[in-house]
């Protein structure tokens, strides 16, 4: 019969491996995933002479582009760090247009405790044109008729009585 110490060691290693995988891939992403701070975003955009519009987590299509050229599969870094990626929308005052910046935040687990924040500016004109369409809103100056239903309105009204369209003063 084999030595029971080896069996106990194998059982302990299996339990620790399962615990590590549960913490790494379920608990850590749910509760401790690195989050970018608004102050970090605003400081970066101020350096680029842009104003902050919004930031979002990447959707599936954007993640598939692999903007930060991350290697596929498991690496040593993936075991000792967590990573978050964001899309940051800014408005350039000088160029009078919106810009996209991709942000990657990598945070190392407690013994190492380091945060690395990388930004990449989007250069693809297709994405930028799509962004301009999404964020540029046409401003219509209303003087005497509602633009939706063509009903007559007064100058000081803030809502069309016929269709309920809100008019910004």
Structure tokens that stand for 59 in this block: 């959707």
More confident residue, 95 or 136: 95
What local confidence, expressed as pLDDT, does residue 127 receive?
Answer: 74
Q: Select the more confidently predicted residue: 40 or 67.
A: 40
pLDDT over 70 (residue 147): yes
The whole-number pLDDT of residue 13 equals: 96
pLDDT average, residue stretch 45-57 = 88
Q: 36 to each of 77, 79, 162, how far by Cα in Å? A: 19, 20, 46
When comparing pLDDT for 155 and 139, which is higher?
Answer: 155
* Between residues 75 and 46, the one the model is more confident about: 46
- Pick the range with the lowest mean pLDDT from 15-29, 62-76, 114-128, 148-162: 62-76
Q: How confident is the model at residue 17 (pLDDT cuts 50, 70, 90)?
A: very high
What is the residue extent of each domain of the chain? Answer: 1-32, 34-135, 138-169
Q: Are the C-beta atoms of 90 and 101 separated by less than 8 Å? A: yes
Report the C-alpha dihedral over residues 119, 125, 129, 131, rounded to 10 degrees: -20
Contacts of 90 (CB under 8 A, 6+ apart): 45, 48, 50, 51, 52, 53, 98, 99, 101
Per-residue pLDDT tens for 64-116? Answer: 777 777 777 777 766 677 788 898 988 887 888 888 898 988 887 766 678 88
Identify the pLDDT of residue 139: 58
Asked if the model's pLDDT at residue 51 lies above 80, the reply is yes
pLDDT reported for residue 159: 82
């Amino acid at each position: 019969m084999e030595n029971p110490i080896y069996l106990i060691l194998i059982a302990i290693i299996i339990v620790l491996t399962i615990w590590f995988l549960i913490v790494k891939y379920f608990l850590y992403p749910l509760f401790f995933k690195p989050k970018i701070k608004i102050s970090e975003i605003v400081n970066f955009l101020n350096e680029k002479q842009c104003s902050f519009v919004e930031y979002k987590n990447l959707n599936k299509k954007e993640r598939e582009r692999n903007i930060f050229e991350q290697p596929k599969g498991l690496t040593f870094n993936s075991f000792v760090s967590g990573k978050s990626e964001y899309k940051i929308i800014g408005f350039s005052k000088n160029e009078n247009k919106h810009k996209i910046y991709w942000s990657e935040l990598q945070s190392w687990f407690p013994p190492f405790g380091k945060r690395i924040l990388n930004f990449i500016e989007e250069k693809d004109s297709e994405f930028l044109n799509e962004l301009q369409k999404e964020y540029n809103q046409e401003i219509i100056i209303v003087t005497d008729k509602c633009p939706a239903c063509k009903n007559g309105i007064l100058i000081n009204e803030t809502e069309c009585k016929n269709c309920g369209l809100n008019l910004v003063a």
